Structure 1
Amino acid sequence: MAPSPAAPRAAADLQAIFDEAQVEGFLHARDIDTGREVALRADAPVIVASLRKIPIALAYARLAAAGWLDRAARHTITAVNREGGGIGTDSCLHDVTISNRDLAFFMLSMSDNAATDKLMEILGADHVRALAAELGCPRIPVGRYRDLWDPVWEELDIDPGGDIDAQLEKVSEERIRGLTMLDPTRSASSTPREITSLLTAIWRDEAGPAEACAEVRDLMSRQLSAHRLIAGFDDKVKVAAKNGSLWGVLNEAGVVEYPDGGRYAVAVFLRTPALGGRNPAADAAIARAARAAVDHLRRTPADTTPEETTCP
């Protein structure tokens, strides 16, 4: 089918948003109920960062829904799980005892890395990896954070038992940008299209039992961060999302639900010129691009067959 008359404008609008923010953008948006799509480099490999926590949450919810995992069972997060300098239990000075459900809640609501590692211990990396592959994300990074970061410290000649921040100050930006972890062609990765496919399956109750999918949707709706994708929509629009950040990487993916029943899965991935720190322009670009993509899908006639608007 030929692109809709609005397709060239959508392409230009999305590229202009990323150009203005001086970032490289990758985007895929999908109407969950019709299959219509808007895409910008949607099949390029991208670093997912903390978006990897979505399949971890789904693995937990599926086991809980099947009765194989007690949501109320309690576990203790210790120094073995904590990296320090993060948020949630990752920044606690003392051991924290918490339920399986609340590990998943902390993991998605505030991106708590220590809670993620404890949940990974409970679920098992092989189980989560198999689930990710089953749902179309075979290369998404799976494992404890320490297992994922140990190769980074080795590559940068950093002693993980010492003051990591002090050692990083002596590492050049060029060496950091050259890390295997930050190259999606050499490390675990996904694509914007794979991530929206995963979200679509969760919202259509096709990623597992309806009870499990509903729990993941609820947990994602509790994310505390609201300065990226969520900022593109007013209070009448429900947004459930998960963000992610690494050196030079800012991401967010989620589902936008309108009062009229329209549901749209959106994944936006950015590569930024700055390695870290605050980047309001990039955060705003995620919100603006998500809104522009959803607006285009909502303007597309409902009786058309699914199509993809591919931006150059």
Structure 2
Amino acid sequence: MDSDEARAIFERAGCTGSLLVRPLDGSAEFSVDADQLVVPASVVKVLVALAAETWFAEGRLDPRERVVLGAAERTPGPVGVSLFEDDAELSLRDMVVLMLTISDNPCTDMLVHRLGLDALNATAARLGLRNTVVRSDLRTMLDSIGQDLGRADWGDLIAWSDRAPAAESAAADEKLPQTRALTPGAGTSTTARDMVRLLRLVWSGQAGPEAACARVRAVMARQLTRHRIASGFRAPVRVAAKSGGLAGIVRNEVGVVSCPDGRQYAAAVFTRSRPGADEAAVNAAIGAATARAVASLHHETA
């Protein structure tokens, strides 16, 4: 497969895509617009997890410290603690588990607040992630979408959308891709190349203390989402990954594919859907493009 064939996979699914796949060792790569700025969505949680686990390993945070996630102020989201009616008390290290396995937003924001944006961006800089910037927590990012569409915040946008006249709702949908949160470079941003570099450093144990890297690897292997990169592979191939999505426009995943012969590949795929695109088709395209790229590299290095 060449880059044009990969682009065609995304085109048929109703989206554009950037992709990079590299072996964990060696310099070979399969690339499609890998240096293009993208919106990471929840893929950024890999960086948050690494920073948190590094602080645990260095003794700067107690992983067993228990923190209450209050019901009134928790970050919105489609899963996990966002759906709870009551206050929830968790340890910081268990928040990492929920953040990576089910992409829990309240746990992510609590960790972001404890670490601070400066520490996250310092981690990105230390690792050579030259185009990765974390500009806000998730709640601020979601609220900015509501504000950019003329509402007070995210909650106000959701309440308004339930009763909005069809014409006004359609106008908001048209403006949605231009909001700050969905504009690469305006909000939190990265590239496929940066995310593959991050994965390679985590898997080699060079991203931080070995205990921190090992923990991130182990928890990513337990992500529940299996319909993106993992959909392109069958056992005994294993995939450890972190997905991300935002507003039905951005659908992403990064992860490491481990083949039965011992070879491993770091992959990062970022997509933007056109209006009316089918979510299942985009998810399948992420798996198909990654599988074809891995197969190409596997053949080259056999």
Regarding TM over 0.5, the answer is: yes
One-letter code of the match for 1:116?
Answer: T
Aligned to 1:76: 68
Check whether the contact 1:27–1:192 (CA below 8 A) recurs between aligned residues.
yes
2:132 touches 2:191 (CA, 8 Å); kept in 1?
Answer: no
The structure-2 alpha-carbon separation of the partners of 1:162 and 1:75, relative to structure 1 and needing over 3 Å to count, comes to closer
Q: Quick one: distance in 1 between partners of 2:266 and 2:4? A: 21
The C-alpha deviation readout for 1:50-79, integer Å capped at 9, x for no partner, is 111111000011111112222221111113
The code of the aligned residue for 1:164 comes to: L
Q: Is 2:156 the partner of 1:155? A: no
The letter for the 2-side match of 1:93 is E
SS in 2 for 1:207: coil
Residues in 2 aligned to 1:274 and 1:215: alpha-carbon distance in whole angstroms? 38
**CA-to-partner distance for each residue in 1:212-258, whole Å, 9 max, x for gaps?**
10100011111111111111111211111011111311101100111
Instruction: Kindly indicate whether the alpha-carbon contact (under 8 Å) linking 2:20 and 2:268 is maintained by their aligned counterparts in 1.
Output: yes
The answer for the alignment partner of 2:293 in structure 1 is: 293
The residue type paired with residue 69 of structure 1 is: L
Partner AA of 2:136 in structure 1: G
Classify 1:301/1:222 alpha carbon distance in 2 versus 1 (closer, same or farther; 3 Å).
closer
1:223 counterpart = 2:216 = no
Once residues 163 and 11 of structure 1 are traced to their aligned partners in structure 2, the CA distance between those partners, rounded to angstroms, is: 42
AA partner of residue 160 (structure 1): D
Query: For residues 36 and 161 of structure 1, what CA distance do their matches in structure 2 show?
Result: 43
1:197 CA displacement: 0.6
* Contact persistence 2:97–2:219 (CA under 8 A): yes
Counterpart residue identity of residue 150, structure 2: D
Partner Cα separation in structure 2 for residue 235 and residue 229 of structure 1 = 13
Structure 2 portions without partners, runs of 5+: none
Q: 1:84-111: CA deviations, max 9, x gaps?
A: 4521111101000001111000001001
Asked if 1 retains the 8 angstrom alpha-carbon contact of 2:117 and 2:134, the reply is: no
Query: Do 1:26 and 1:41's aligned partners in 2 also have CA atoms closer than 8 Å?
Result: yes
User: Over the residues paired in the alignment, what is the CA RMSD in angstroms?
Assistant: 1.9
**1:1-312 to 2 correspondence within 5 Å?**
9-79=1-71, 81-137=73-129, 138-160=131-153, 163-168=156-161, 169=164, 170-171=168-169, 172=171, 173-247=173-247, 248-274=249-275, 279-301=279-301
* Deviates most, 205-214 or 63-72: 63-72
Deviation at 1:14, TM superposition (A): 1.3
Number of equivalent positions: 293
Distance 1:32 1:102, change over 3 A: same
Structure 1 residues 163 and 301, CA gap change in structure 2 (3 angstroms): closer
Higher helix content, 1 or 2 = 2
Q: State the secondary structure of the residue aligned to 1:27.
A: strand
Single out whichever of 9-18 and 185-194 deviates more from structure 2.
Answer: 9-18
Is the CA contact 1:48–1:140 (under 8 Å) kept in the aligned structure 2?
A: no
Q: Please state how far the C-alpha of 1:16 moved relative to its aligned partner.
A: 2.5
Normalising by structure 1, report the TM-score.
0.88
CA shift at 1:32, angstroms?
A: 0.9
TM-superposed deviation, 1:162: 5.4
Q: Is the 8 A contact 1:53 1:116 kept in 2?
A: yes
**1:36 is paired with a residue of what secondary structure?**
coil
% identical aligned pairs: 37
Structure 1 residue 124 displacement after superposition: 2.0
Deviation of residue 164 (structure 1)? 2.8
For residues 117 and 71 of structure 1, do their structure 2 counterparts lie closer, same or farther at Cα, with a shift above 3 Å needed? same
Letter in 2 for 1:255: V
Using the alignment, how far apart are the partners of 1:275 and 1:146 within structure 2? 27
CA distance in 2, matches of 1:11, 1:85: 35
When structure 1 is superposed on structure 2, of 196-205 and 13-22 the one drifting more is 13-22
Unaligned runs of 5+ in 1: 1-8, 303-312
> 2:146–2:156: 8 Å Cα contact kept in structure 1?
no
Cα distance in 2, alignment partners of residues 249 and 110 from structure 1 = 17
